[in-house]
Chains A and B, each alone.
Chain A
């Protein structure tokens, strides 16, 4: 069974940093592209970042470019999101999601809440 478990969320002040992790199990992690998708409270889904299976291709939403860094460690079956210069508008539940054959998102974690507030 595919499992994705996010961690690392919490309360941080504006301008602060946070590192999210996603532990993957139940599939060959190194064979799949992975994604971070966020959802602000009461709002819709916003794609944040993607990374290919070997980290060769990395993409970011314009809203986080230059502030967030996605990475992965295939030996540890883990995905990461380093978030710097956080803003109030980054407040959201952050989901880790596995890509399908194309860029549909076939499996999602339960999410981790990031709150940016003074």
Chain B
């Protein structure tokens, strides 16, 4: 199984500042035949189900604000919130879908306001 790790475990960022979350997979999730990274990002606010933010490592889901962006390739990925808003307080998870089953999630990164 592919193991996903995230760093940091939590971070506190001032409103309007940049938040950066890292995700690493134990093996590459880049499929060479289509040059796509099989990685997604989710946001989970307290008391709510997860919400898909990004798939293919960098494609924003419809309706997701453009302050959210994904980057990276192979085994190392980043979710960036360019200008943190109060409504962005949540736990963020990465997930690989390159080698399934099982899909596997990272342990999550909690984002708070400083």
Contact = CB atoms under 8 A, between A and B. Distances in A.
Interface in A26-61: 35, 44-47, 50, 59-61
Given A95-B49, A111-B49, A102 B61 contact: no
B50 A108 contact: yes
B96 to A, nearest CB: 9
B95 A104 contact: yes
B80 interface: no
A44 B100 contact: no
Interface of A: 35, 44-47, 50, 59-62, 95, 100, 102-111
Nearest to A95: B49
Nearest to A101: B55
B113 interface: no
Contacts of B108: 44-45
B98 to A, nearest CB: 9
Given A102-B38, A105-B95, A108-B50, A47 B104 contact: yes
Nearest to B36: A102
The 6 closest A-B pairs by CB, nearest first: A103-B97, A59-B101, A108-B49, A104-B40, A104-B55, A45-B105
B90 interface: no
B103 interface: yes
Given A45-B95, A108-B51, 10 more contacts: A45-B50, A47-B104, A59-B101, A100-B52, A100-B55, A103-B103, A104-B52, A104-B95, A105-B42, A106-B52
Given A102-B38, A105-B40, A106-B61, A45 B93 contact: yes
Contacts of A95: 49-50
